[in-house]
Amino acid sequence: MNTSARTPLRELKMVDIVKRFPGVLANDGVNFDVRAGEVHALLGENGAGKSTLMRQLYGLYKPDSGQIIIDGQPRVFQSPADAIHAGVGMIHQHFMLVSSLTVAENVALGLASTRGPRLDLDRVAERIRGLAERYGLKVDPSAVVWQLSVGEQQRVEILKALYRGASLLVLDEPTAVLTPQEAQELFVTLRQMADDGHALIFISHKLHEVLALSHRVTVLRDGRLVGTYPTAEMTRADLARLMVGREVLLQYDRPPAQPGETRLQIDGLWAIGDRGVDAVRDFSLTVRAGEVVGLAGVSGNGQRELAEVLTGLRQPSRGKVTLNGRDVTHASPAERIAAGQCAIPEERMRTGVIKDFSVLENAILCDHSHRPFSRNTVLNFGEIAAHTRRLIADYAVKTPTAETPIKNLSGGNIQKLILARELCRKPTVIIAAQPTRGVDIGASEYIHHRLLEQRAAGTATLLISEDLDEIRALSDRIAVIFEGRLMGVVDAATATAESLGLMMAGTRQTE
Amino acid sequence: MSELFTLPVLLGILYSGIRLATPYLYAAIGETFAQRSGVYNLGVEGIMLMGAYTAFYVASISGDLWLGLGAAAGVGAMLGLLMAFVSVTLRAEQGISGIGLHLFGLGLSTLLFKTTLGGVTSISGFQPVRIPFLADIPLLGDALFNHNLLVYVAFLLVPVANWVINDTTLGLKIRAVGQNPAAADSLGVSVGKIRYLTVTVGGVFAGIAGASLSIALINLFQENMTNGQGFIAVALVYFGGWRPWGVLGGAMLFSLVNALQLWIQVAGIELESDIAVMLPYLLTIVALAVAVRRAQQPAALSKPFERGEA
C-alpha cells in the first residue's frame, strides 16, 4: 500500500455539526471549512467545543447530525482508520505515542509492511529520514520514544501523519509544550507544509500564535460558531473579545513588589525522579514575603519533582528546604501545612481533589480532623456545609449544589474550589503548580487576581508554570529550570521572551 | 547427598525438568500474548483443566490422540473467547473474571469427569520420538532428544512467539495495544480485535497445556489434576519479564527444582516430603520478588480500553 499516492484533498467542509453528550450540547450547528494551502486557526476557550469538533473530523466521535464533505463528496468516518484513509492526520495535544517503542515502530504501527507479515523498519526509517529532511523535522528513527524531548516527540507525531500521506493536518494546541524557540521552528515547518499544499487546522487559545501563523481564524464559544474571519483583519483584543464574549484585560496592573523577609529557602536541592535518575539537580532559590517568583521551564525539566519535594510528596536526596525559618527538608505534607504552606497541585484531578467526592467533602480535605468541622472524630456537617457555601460564594465556584460530585464541575471551577480551600487557611507561602492549566480565560483571570491579592497581603508565592505568558503576567522575578538545574533568575520587568527561551533551552544566564 | 549428585541422576533431573516444563511453556507463552496486549487472564488454570479433560475424554472414546488434542485446543479457544468477551467487550475487572473462569473450568471438568468417566482410568498417550543423530549425542542426547512431540513443540513455541511479538506487524500491534491502546486506536488499529485474538490464542495454548498433561505426560485425568500449574504459568509471565525467552528461563528453573525435589523424595533423603513439595513454590515467590522489573510490564495491563477516555 503506497499511502502517499492518493490525491491530496483540496477542500474539507463540516456542515451544521451537532454533537450532544449527556447534559451538554458540545457542538450546536457548527460550520467550518479548510482549504489546501492554508492554516486555519480554530480558537476558543476550554469547553468551547474545539476538540469535540475535531474528534468528529478524525472519526473518534460520530456527529449526531451534520455532514463532513471532502471535495464535494459527503463522507462518514466510522473510526480514525477511515479519516486517515481520507487523508486526515491529527496531532493530539496529549501525544498518541507508544513510549516503549522506537520512532520507526511508532510510525509503522498499523500500516502494512512491504515484507508481508514481517516488519520492514529499515525501509520505514529510510522514508522517515526523507520526510524529516524535507520539513525540517530532525529525529532519529531508531530512538526509543521515552528518551526523546517533548519537542522531538511532537515531530514524531507530525511524521506519523505525513508518512500516512495526510494532506489535512489537525494540530491540537501544539505549542503548549514547547519553548518559544521550538514553537518558532514548528511554525517554520507548518508554513512549509502549507506552501506544499497541505491544509492545516491549528487549534489554540494563544492569541499571538493565531495572529502570527494563520490565514483565517474561526472562533467557537459555548459550542456555537461565533464566526470565521481573515486573520489579517483581526487584532488581539478582537479575538479575545470574540472568544470570551466580553472585554478581557490582557494585562494586570500590579504595584511594585515590596519583598519582606525570606519565607521559603531552597538550598542545593537534589531529587531523584520516577525513572531513577536525578530530576532536580543542585537547585537553590529563595522566595520572600510579598513577591511572586515564577519558575519557567519546558514540561518535564524537573518542575513536577521539585513541586513534589516542596510539598512533601517526594523525598529529596540532598539539600535543604527552609520554611519560615524551620528546616522542613524531610517534613510530611501535614507538617508543612501546619507551618503555613499551601499548595495548588499540578494534577488537580489526581492530587488536588478526590473526584468522586462531593464539593463539600473536597472543601474540607485538609481540615476535616479538627474543629469546627469535627469533634472527637465525628463530622459536623452543619458547619462543613456552611463553610463550603462561604467558599463557593467567595470564590464564585459554579456548582449545582455543594453535594455535587466534584468531577461534574468544569476544570476552572474545580481549580477555584482548590484555591478557596487552600487560601482560606491564610497561608504564608503558596506553591502554585500550573494553576491555570486547562482552565478557561475567565477563570484564569480570576485565579490570577486572587494570587495577586495574596501577594499584596504579603504572602510568598512560588508560581511553577509552563505558560510563559502567565509567568510574565504575575511574577516579580523569574527563575528558569532546565534538566533540573537552575539556569538563572531574572527580573521580570526586564526579561525578554528571547532571553527566557534561551534559558529554557539550556543556556545559562550570562551576566 | 552423594547418591543424589551422580551423573545419571543429574541427567534424569534434566530429563524430568524438560518434561515438567512443557505445560508451563504452553500456558505461559499463551498468557504472554494476552498480557502483552493488555489483558490479564487469571483463568488459565480453568482452561487447562477443561483442556486436560477434553483431550483425555475425546482420545479415550475415539482412540485418536490428535483428535483429542484438537478438541482441547477448540475448547481452549472457546473459553478464551469467553474471557475476551467478558474482559474486552463487557470491560469486567480482569482479576475477578479470571478467578470466575478458573472456578468454572474446575467445576465443569469435575462434573463431566464424574458423569462420563466416573473413575480414574489411563490411556496410552503420545509416545517419545527419538530424534535421529541428536539423541545419540553422548550424555545429553537422551535427556534432550527423546521426548514426545508435544514437548518439542512447546520448546519450539518460544522462538516462534518471540519472532511474532518482536518482528512482525501483528506483534507491533500487540505491543502497542498493551502499552498505549489510545495511540494504537488513533492509528486505526482495532484494540478490541487484537485483544480478542491474543486472549483466544492464549486460550488455545492453555487448552493444549492441559492436553499435554492428560494425553502426553501423565496419561490420565483426575479431578483438579493441574493443581495450580495455571497460576504458576501466570507468575512465570511476570518472572520472564513478558518475554518468551524469559518465560522459558522461568519455566526451566521452576521445573528443574521440581524435578530435583521429586528425586530427593525418590532417593529417600531425610527431608519432610511436604517441605520438598513446597520448594518450587517458595522459589517462585522469592524469584518473583527479586526478579520482576515492573518497568517492563505492559502499561495498559488489565485496563479495559474505552475510546475517548483521556
Q: Give the whole-angstrom CA distance, residue B220 versus residue B113.
A: 11
Taking the CA of residue B290 and the nearest CA in chain A, the distance in Å comes to 18
Cβ contacts of residue B264 below 8 Å, gap of 6+?
A: B4, B271, B276
Per CB-CB distance under 8 Å, the chain B contacts of A117 are: 168-170
A109 vs B172, B190, B299: nearest CB: B172
pLDDT at B202: 98
Domain ranges of chain B: 2-121+150-294
Q: Do A84 and B168 touch (CB under 8 A)?
A: no
- Sole residue written with cell 487448552: B207
To the nearest whole percent, how much of chain A has pLDDT over 70? 98
- Sole residue written with cell 532519529: A140
pLDDT at A464: 96
pLDDT at A2: 40
Q: Do B310 and A94 touch (CB under 8 A)?
A: yes
A80 vs B167, B171, B185: nearest CB: B185
Q: Do B180 and A55 touch (CB under 8 A)?
A: no
Give all domains of chain A, ordered by start, each with its CATH number.
7-87+167-248 (3.40.50.300), 96-166 (no CATH), 252-340+427-511 (3.40.50.300), 353-426 (no CATH)
Taking the CA of residue B90 and the nearest CA in chain A, the distance in Å comes to 20
B189 vs A85, A97, A110: nearest CB: A110
Instruction: Give the model confidence (pLDDT) of A276-291 as tens digits.
Output: 789 999 999 999 999 9
pTM: 0.79
CB distance B42 to B102 below 8 Å: yes
Number of other CB atoms surrounding residue B252 within 10 Å: 18
In the predicted model, is pLDDT for residue B190 greater than 50? yes
What DSSP string runs through A48-100? SSHHHHHHHHTTSS--SEEEEEETTEEE--SSHHHHHHTTEEEE-SS----TT
If we measure between CA atoms, which residue out of A402, A421, A428, A307 comes closest to residue A353? A421
Q: Do B169 and A55 touch (CB under 8 A)?
A: no
Q: Give the whole-angstrom CA distance, residue A465 versus residue A477.
A: 13
In the predicted model, is pLDDT for residue A249 greater than 70? no
Rounded to an integer, the average pLDDT of A246-253 is 73
Q: What is the DSSP letter of A245?
A: S
Please count the residue pairs, one from chain A and one from chain B, whose beta carbons lie less than 8 angstroms apart.
77
In the predicted model, is pLDDT for residue A498 greater than 70? yes
SS3 content of chain A, % helix, strand, coil (to 5): 35, 25, 40
Per CB-CB distance under 8 Å, the chain B contacts of A58 are: 186
B173 vs A92, A100, A109: nearest CB: A109
Closest residue of chain B to A106, computed from CA coordinates: B176
The amino acid present at B13, given as its one-letter code, is I
Going from the C-alpha of A458 to that of each of A123, A311, A426, the distances in angstroms are 62, 20, 11
* CB proximity A163 to B under 8 Å: no
Residues 50-109 of A with CB under 8 A from B: 55, 58, 60-61, 79-81, 84-85, 90, 92, 94-101, 105-106, 108-109
In the predicted model, is pLDDT for residue A439 greater than 90? no
CATH of segment(s) B2-121+150-294: 1.10.3470
Q: Do A55 and B308 touch (CB under 8 A)?
A: yes
Per CB-CB distance under 8 Å, the chain B contacts of A105 are: 172, 176
pLDDT at A399: 86
Closest residue of chain A to B191, computed from CA coordinates: A110
Q: Do B183 and A111 touch (CB under 8 A)?
A: no
Instruction: Give the model confidence (pLDDT) of B80-134 as tens digits.
Output: 999 999 999 999 999 999 999 999 999 999 999 999 988 778 899 999 999 988 8
Instruction: Give the model confidence (pLDDT) of B38-75 as tens digits.
Output: 999 999 999 999 999 999 999 999 999 999 999 999 99
To the nearest whole percent, how much of chain B has pLDDT over 70? 96
Q: Do A80 and B299 touch (CB under 8 A)?
A: no
Q: DSSP 3-state assignment of B82?
A: helix
Helices B65-84 & B94-116 angle (0-180, nearest 10): 150
Instruction: Give the model confidence (pLDDT) of A253-265 as tens digits.
Output: 888 888 999 999 9
Q: Average pLDDT, whole number, for chain A?
A: 90
Rounded to an integer, the average pLDDT of B290-308 is 80
Band of pLDDT at residue B266, cut at 50, 70 and 90: confident
Band of pLDDT at residue A332, cut at 50, 70 and 90: very high
